[in-house]
Structure 1
Amino acid sequence: MKNILALAAALALGTLSTEALAGQPFVRAEAGNSDIEVSYGRYFRGSDHDTALLVGGGYWFTPNLAVEGHVGSLYTEYLGCDYDLDLVTVGAGIVAKKHFGPQETDFFVGARAGVARVTLQLREDRFDIVDDESSTKPYYGISAGYDFSRRWGLGLNYDRRRAESNGVNVDVDTITFAGEIRFR
């Protein structure tokens, strides 16, 4: 069995080109708007919006396929008496991109999907977390933008995240403007 696995791994690595192995790490910063909808059973529904700020990074294995991770703030509300309510996200997933210009430049469209942990935190005095509830669910999104070179580009992203805890459902739609820098 070990020999079969070793042979399969050797064949898989042998089929990869050196171009595919010479990928690019990247970092991304996103800023935009979150639209949050909260529901509890059939009787309570509420919505609000706030600024979304996220940072992420990952690795482009090819110009069209990458893995990514992100962390960011989706919502912050001051409750008074030194208390804040925060909605934060941490996630990891895959990204696909299709370019319409030569050598991975010009306009592109993309999609991403993965798993995100969304945490609702009650903080006191800006730093002390009094209580938090987390939920891990799939996330997905689409993007469009322009890559000015193989090293950097700008894009517009739409992402959908969900959370659920103790009968409370939270849906978060974000539209963000993103800048991405790739290293080689």
Structure 2
Amino acid sequence: MKKTLFAIAFATAGLLAIPAAFAQDAGRTAQQGWYVGANAGYGEVSKGPYDDGDFAGGIKGGYRFAINPETSLAAEVGYQYLGRVDMSHANAFAGLYPSNGKSKLQGATAGLSLRYNFSQSWYGELRGGAFFAKGQGLTDEATPSFRRFNSTNYYAGAGVGYNINQQWSLGLNYDRYQGSGNGVHLDTNSYNVSAEYRF
């Protein structure tokens, strides 16, 4: 009889706990799990021989961990293409260089992303990490020379976004990529729109 009463009490306590568990889930806005994303926008260089911009875009993916009901931290990797920019001064010297002196910057990324959900729909995000840059362009010397480089630099950025549903979100972002090496400086400001899909 005691065992039966104990079992009934235990089952009743379990049934009473179910609504509380659902209430906690309802208040939870932080996402957790695997995701992939893509972005597209404008990449701007404004240093040395370059003062212009071009199309920029990339892809990324990672895993997001919920660290409290509103905040999540993600480890992610990706690849960014940051455009080909023309020389900012008169192109009188352009023919002297490969690709007419146009710059080019791209590379892989590996970093962290911290996301705070203001509500079920809106979030803000900070991110940063390593940028494994591969580029080419003119040095910013008085007499520029055209060089290629591979270097490990950094990227950092911030954005805001809207969760369309549990799987999809759209965002507006600003990212800064340090793209320097071998005397060439192609640090790029990227203004982009992003889309993310969560599994």
More strand, by proportion: 1
What are the within-5 Å matches in structure 2 for residues 45-60 of structure 1?
Answer: 45-60=49-64
The residue number in structure 1 matching 2:190 is 174
Bigger Cα Rg: 2
1:38-61 Cα deviation digits (max 9, x unpaired): 33xxxxx43110000101111112
**Counterparts of 1:57 and 1:163, CA distance in 2:** 22
The residue number in structure 1 matching 2:143 is none
Report deviation, 1:86: 2.8
Give the paired residue count.
Answer: 146
1:93-132 Cα deviation digits (max 9, x unpaired): 000111111xxx211111001010121158xxxxxxxx84
RMSD: 2.6
Is residue 61 of structure 2 the alignment partner of residue 74 of structure 1?
no
The residue number in structure 2 matching 1:110 is 125
What are the within-5 Å matches in structure 2 for residues 74-153 of structure 1?
Answer: 74-76=82-84, 83=99, 86-101=104-119, 105-121=120-136, 132-153=148-169
2:84 counterpart SS class? strand
**Counterparts of 2:155 and 2:103, CA distance in 1:** 22
Q: TM-score, normalised by structure 1?
A: 0.70
The residue number in structure 1 matching 2:39 is 30
- Matched to 1:70, the amino acid is G
Report deviation, 1:29: 0.7
1:108-167 Cα deviation digits (max 9, x unpaired): 111001010121158xxxxxxxx8411211210001010122211000110001122222
Report deviation, 1:85: 5.0
The residue number in structure 1 matching 2:72 is 64
Tell which deviates more after alignment, 107-116 or 132-141: 132-141
Unaligned runs of 5+ in 2: 1-30, 87-93, 138-146
2:165 counterpart SS class? coil
CA contact (8 A) 1:134 1:163 kept: no
C-alpha spacing 1:88/1:29, structure 2 compared with 1 (3 Å) = same
- Matched to 1:59, the amino acid is Y
**Counterparts of 2:59 and 2:52, CA distance in 1:** 22
**Counterparts of 2:82 and 2:180, CA distance in 1:** 15
More helix, by proportion: 2
CA contact (8 A) 2:53 2:85 kept: no
